[in-house]
Amino acid sequence: MEDVISILCSGMGLGVYIPSLLIDCQLRKRGIKTEVFIVESYFREDKLERLKENKKAFHNSFQVAVLGHRMAKGDVRPNLDTDKIDALLQYWQRHHRKHFIVMSGHWPVILESYIEKVGADHLNIDAVRMDSDVAPTWKNFRNDKNYFNEIWLFDNVTKDLPYCISVSNSAPIPFHDREDRFLIHGGGWGMGTYRSKCKELNAKGLALDIVAYEKDEIEQSHAGNWYYLMEPDWSPWLKSNNGRYEFPPMYAVDKESGLKRLYTEDYQPIFDVCRKCKGIISKPGGGTLLDSLASATPVIFIEPIAKHEQTNAALWEYLGLGISYQTWVERGYATDILEEIHHNIVAKRHQVPDYVDGFVSRYGLKGYQ
């Protein structure tokens, strides 16, 4: 029986969801079979509706988002539909699943139920942390019996990057060949103070690539701004027509022709915008750090949502891979410091092992092609 890698993730934050799909694509390119599971697919309907309400509230208010993350308990069990979970565990057992990549802290408690059924001796479970500190979903995680091989992409203890998840095969664009533009966004849910920075940046003559999350956020008052719209009605926990989960649908907003769909097969479309710009202005989420490393694009950090993001920013600045928004403002919005950071990232990229390569080698996996 061929091994199938089960990738366990969440759609609550695209900083977990998108890296999970990147891993999925890269394993399949190596001829290794995979299956992605989204924890929200196993929620009770009332809890799923509440999640959608929270997503909108967090997008609309930075203060609400901060409070929500502060109050998060990390215990997913009250949200779960027990019948769906029982069926999932039976499915794994029936198909002899033994390789798991856990991308969200909501999954370990479910996996422990599976371990009770089948034992742990033959299981290989990687728990991949997308932040340099404990994110809210990982609050209750305890690896007391060492069932889980913990992987930290960003390690605040060693002050280093043990692994990376690559995004595309394209080499970084040299800084002097990039457009004089800045990508500004609020992560997967559009959280943070990014929208309040746009007028200030435009007043300094900076052109922006702005990610919008609702159509009414698009305004064409500044000729230098280009907008990109994430499909507002898209849901990460619903599969596309090909039976797989898809990267967030993204549109370029054209003043003349309206919305133009951006197509990429193996990574999120906004990454192509990221590669061409001089800097990313965003909160310090793990997904943004991956984009920064993969594209060698400096991150200019705005206010974090929670402690784990604050730690992310501190680590990135310590390594010379990013800069705080306030420091950049004090430097006069200068691009010379960003070029220096760009070169630091280019150098760092060559030192960081690829996680998928390591996973395949560690467990002796072989493709079917």
pLDDT mean values, one per 10 residues, the chain (369 residues): 88 88 96 95 81 54 40 70 96 96 95 95 95 89 92 96 94 97 79 74 93 78 85 82 87 82 90 96 92 97 84 96 96 96 97 96 81
Total count of domains within the chain = 2
Give the CATH number of the domain where residue 160 resides: 3.40.50
Instruction: Output the six-digit token pair for 321.
Output: 């891979």
Dihedrals phi, psi of 253, to nearest 5 degrees: -95, 115
Residue 71 has a pLDDT of 40
- Same domain, residue pair 161 and 179: no
Residue written as token pair 């091994």? 3
pTM of the entire predicted model: 0.92
Between the two ends of the chain, the Cα-to-Cα distance in Å is: 15
Residue 368 has a pLDDT of 61
Give the CATH number of the domain where residue 316 resides: 3.40.50.2000
Residue 62 has a pLDDT of 39
Residue 351 has a pLDDT of 96
- Same domain, residue pair 267 and 293: yes
- Same domain, residue pair 218 and 120: no
Residue 205 has a pLDDT of 93
- Same domain, residue pair 272 and 289: yes
Residue 221 has a pLDDT of 67
- Same domain, residue pair 148 and 279: no
Residue numbers of the domain that contains 246 = 175-349
Give the rounded distance of the alpha carbon of 137 from its chain centre. 14
Q: Are 281 and 181 contacting, i.e. CB atoms less than 8 angstroms apart?
A: no
Residue 367 in any domain: the answer is no
- Same domain, residue pair 56 and 148: yes
Residue 314 makes CB contacts below 8 A (sequence gap 6+) with 156
Residue 3 has a pLDDT of 86
Residue 61 has a pLDDT of 42
The CA distances from residue 314 to 127, 304, 323, in Å, are 23, 11, 9
Residue 317 has a pLDDT of 96
Please state the three-class secondary structure of 180-203 as a single string: CEEEECCCCCCCCCHHHHHHHHHH
Residue 368 in any domain: the answer is no
